[in-house]
């Protein structure tokens, strides 16, 4: 029984069957990659997992609880954090403030009216945030405007914000899309480090095979809204069906 169980999920958009009989089980404490050509249903699947889309049929269980019909913030409070394709951070706020907000959210829940106490007096939160920034090697930037950072650093910050909530499942949506090689490698290293240091399940949707094969322990290949194969990276590499459906072009390229 995995930490995340997707069973018989179907989702139609008009004439398009985006997900058909989708089944997926992600085991606890693994890095599970989901790959597939464009239009295979990866984004739809992700949006179902975080509560943005409600499937037509089927169930999605996280740690024995259904996530369907819950709002994104409720799903986050259950222990699922999401990293976006383009980094979503609080651009108008400083790096330190960015890091404090998820810590507040973890501590105080979805809403709390703490309108009088000063942020500066929340020593525990400030320390935790600074500690997190140090472990990301970003402590020297803590008073910078986060919008002015490089894309690689924004990504780092976003991942750090998610981690500061100690999620049980971290969802990554093409975390290295649009990144230079150096930034990509940094991100891979960061994720590897996270994997070593923490008990965490990571689900990653990615186009870049380099990233997938450096990180994943299990890989699910999607095609036309349904899982084609699920196996270890080594087996996936040689799998004829996968080559045909997906790696075909990129292997020759």
- Per CB under 8 A, 213 contacts other proteins: no
Among 22, 89, 163, 172, interactor with other proteins by CB under 8 A:
89
CA 176 to CA 89: how far, in whole Å?
16
CB 147 to other proteins: min, Å:
9
Closest to other proteins by CB, 169 vs 245, is 169
CA 217 to CA 208: how far, in whole Å?
16
Q: Say which residues have a Cβ less than 8 Å from residue 144's Cβ, sequence separation at least 6.
A: 94, 95
Pick the piece of the chain touching other proteins (CB under 8 A) from 32-40, 116-124, 135-143, 196-204: 116-124
- Per CB under 8 A, 124 contacts other proteins: no
CB 91 to other proteins: min, Å:
6
8 Å CB contact between 185 and 156: no
Distance of alpha carbon 144 from the chain centroid:
25
Closest to other proteins by CB, 91 vs 238, is 91
Among 1, 113, 124, 253, interactor with other proteins by CB under 8 A:
113
Closest to other proteins by CB, 108 vs 244, is 108
Among 101, 139, 188, 229, interactor with other proteins by CB under 8 A:
101
- Per CB under 8 A, 104 contacts other proteins: yes
Q: Is 65 helix (H, G, I), strand (E, B) or coil?
A: strand
Among 121, 182, 252, 253, interactor with other proteins by CB under 8 A:
121
Q: Restricting to residues 135-164, which ones interact with other proteins according to CB under 8 A?
A: 161
Q: Is 24 helix (H, G, I), strand (E, B) or coil?
A: strand
Residue keyed to tokens 């249903």: 41
Closest to other proteins by CB, 105 vs 236, is 105
- Per CB under 8 A, 165 contacts other proteins: yes
Q: Pattern 45-84, binding to other proteins, x per CB under 8 A?
A: -----x--------------------xxxx-xx---xx-x
Contact residues: other proteins, CB under 8 A: 50, 71-74, 76-77, 81-82, 84, 88-93, 97, 100-102, 104-106, 108-122, 125, 161, 165
């Amino acid at each position: 029984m995995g930490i995340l169980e997707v069973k018989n999920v179907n989702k139609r958009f008009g004439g398009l069957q985006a997900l058909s009989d989708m089944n997926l089980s992600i085991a606890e404490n693994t890095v599970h990659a989901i790959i597939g050509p464009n239009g295979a249903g990866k984004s739809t699947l992700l949006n179902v997992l975080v509560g943005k889309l409600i499937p037509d049929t089927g169930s999605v269980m996280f740690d024995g609880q259904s996530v369907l019909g819950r709002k994104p913030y409720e799903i986050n409070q259950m222990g699922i954090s999401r990293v976006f394709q383009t980094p979503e951070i609080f651009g108008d706020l400083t790096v330190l403030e960015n890091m404090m907000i998820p810590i507040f959210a973890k501590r105080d829940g979805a809403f709390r009216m703490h309108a009088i106490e000063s942020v500066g007096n929340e020593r525990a939160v400030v320390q935790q945030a600074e500690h997190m920034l140090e472990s990301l090697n970003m402590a020297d930037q803590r008073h910078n405007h986060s919008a002015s950072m490089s894309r690689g650093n924004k990504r780092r910050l976003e991942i750090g914000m998610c981690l500061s909530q100690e999620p049980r499942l971290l969802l990554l949506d093409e975390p290295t899309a649009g990144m230079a090689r150096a930034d990509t490698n940094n991100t891979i290293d960061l994720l590897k480090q996270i994997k070593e240091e923490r008990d965490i399940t990571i689900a990653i949707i990615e186009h870049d095979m380099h990233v997938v094969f450096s990180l994943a322990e299990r890989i699910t290949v999607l095609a036309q809204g349904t899982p084609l194969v699920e196996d270890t990276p080594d087996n996936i590499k040689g799998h004829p069906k996968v080559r045909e459906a997906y790696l075909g072009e990129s292997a020759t390229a």
